[in-house]
Amino acid sequence: MNWTWFHRLGSPPHIYRIAGTLTPWFAWPAGLLIVAALYGGLVLAPPDYQQGEGFRILYVHAPSAWLAVMIYGVMASAAAVGLIWRMKVAHAVAASCAGVGAWFTAVSLVTGMLWGKPMWGTYWVWDPRLTAQLILFILYLGYMGLRAGIDDLGRADRASAVLAIVGVVNIPIIRYSVEWWNSIHQAPSVMKMDRPSMPLDMLAPLLMMLLGFTLYFAAILLVRLRAEILRRERTASWIREVLR
């Protein structure tokens, strides 16, 4: 008995194979970029006139914070595509994002706190960006909690997709409200470091790290995507060759 489901865009076996071949093309450049950025950030870049050597935490904090937000965006757009065009591969992409996103949101929180400690003497500071990242972390937990709470995979995909879309609409509003809340209460703000004003030898490693982290995420996403595709394709005949 041979049946396959043909999806207009990106039929699963095709995507599965492409994901496999592309992974190393993302993984290796990511590794190199990160190592180079580490060297640039820790050794070459001069200490900050205000925060001294402490500012180097920026090279892990900023990329993690960037991943946290970018991954949610990727997750929500994949979810929207999956919901509107009923594409299982898109839901598989969304499912693959959540874990990594939550991890790096946590990293951005921890590194943010470690950065705040020498600056303000306390680990937690109600800085608007840190607060917004904390709320984003709770959004990730809610998303993963909803997925875990529903047994049927198809239903879990669609329900979590609705949540991701509602979440992504709210993220800018939450960020604005937290910034607004911070401004009216003049709470201390740690992250005054705005990137453009940084000298080139400080900025270059940061940009390389950002790109490195992004490529790293792409590699992880592709590996997880293959797993999620297998789960959704159940007993499609093309999987037999893959398993051989």
Partner 1 sequence: MSEFFAMDGYAIFLWPAYLVTLIAILANVMLARRAHAEAKQEARRRFAIEDEGSSP
Partner 2 sequence: MSELSVKNLHVFRGERHLLRGLGFEVPAGCCLQVVGANGAGKTTLLRVMSGLLEAESLELTWRGERVEPRDPEYHAELSYLGHDPALKSDFTAAENIAFNVGLRRRVASQDVRSALARVSAEKFSDRPIRSLSAGQRRRVALAALWLSGTRLWMLDEPATNLDAAGQALVASLIQEQLSGGGLVMAATHQDLGLPAAQRASLEIGVHGVRT
Partner 3 sequence: MTVRRTTAFSAAGLVLTRDLRLAVRRPSQLIQPLAFFAVVALLFPLGYTPELGKLRAIAPGVLWVGALLASMLALESLFREDASDGTLEQFVVCGQPLVALMAAKTLAHWLLTGLPLTLMAPVLGIALGVPVEAMPGILFSLLLGTVTLSLIGAVGAGLTLGVRRGGVLLSLLTLPLAVPVLVFGARATELAISGESLMGPLYLLGALAVLGITLAPLAAAAAVRIGLE
Sequential DSSP letters for 132-168: HHHHHHHHHHHHHHHHHH--SHHHHHHHHHHHHHHHH
Q: How far apart are CA 145 and CA 18, in angstroms?
A: 30
**Where along the sequence are the contacts to partner 3 (CB under 8 A)?**
83, 135, 138-139, 141-142, 145-146, 149-150, 152, 155, 158-159, 162-163, 165-167, 169-170, 173-174, 176-178, 180-181, 184
Cα–chain center distance at 40: 24
Give the SS3 label for residue 52: strand
When CB distances are held under 5 to 8 angstroms depending on the partner's kind, the choice from partner 3, partner 2, partner 1, none that residue 3 binds is partner 2
Residue 212, judged by CB atoms within 10 A of its CB (0-12, 13-18, 19+), counts as buried
Q: Give me the least distance between CB of 54 and partner 1, in Å please.
A: 4
Q: Give me the least distance between CB of 151 and partner 2, in Å please.
A: 6
The three-point CA angle 241-243-244 to 5° equals: 65
Q: How far apart are CA 55 and CA 68, in angstroms?
A: 20
**Where along the sequence are the contacts to partner 1 (CB under 8 A)?**
1, 34, 43, 47, 52-54, 56-57, 60-61, 64, 99-100, 103-104, 106-107, 110-111, 114-115, 117-118, 216, 220, 223-224, 226-228, 230-231, 234-235, 239-240, 242-243
Residue 8 binding partner 2, by CB under 8 A: no
- Widest CA span of the chain, in angstroms? 71
When CB distances are held under 5 to 8 angstroms depending on the partner's kind, the choice from partner 2, partner 1, partner 3, none that residue 216 binds is partner 1
When CB distances are held under 5 to 8 angstroms depending on the partner's kind, the choice from partner 3, partner 1, partner 2, none that residue 5 binds is partner 2
Q: Which of 145, 154, 188, 199 binds partner 2 (CB under 8 A)?
A: 154
* Dihedral angle of Cα 59, 60, 62, 64, to the nearest 10 degrees: 150
Residue 2 binding partner 2, by CB under 8 A: no
Cα–chain center distance at 42: 24
Among 207, 15, 218, which residue's Cα sits nearest to residue 100?
A: 218
When CB distances are held under 5 to 8 angstroms depending on the partner's kind, the choice from partner 2, partner 1, partner 3, none that residue 226 binds is partner 1
Q: Which of 21, 49, 197, 234 binds partner 2 (CB under 8 A)?
A: 234
- Positions in the binding site for partner 2 (CB under 8 A): 1, 3, 5, 151-155, 158, 234-235
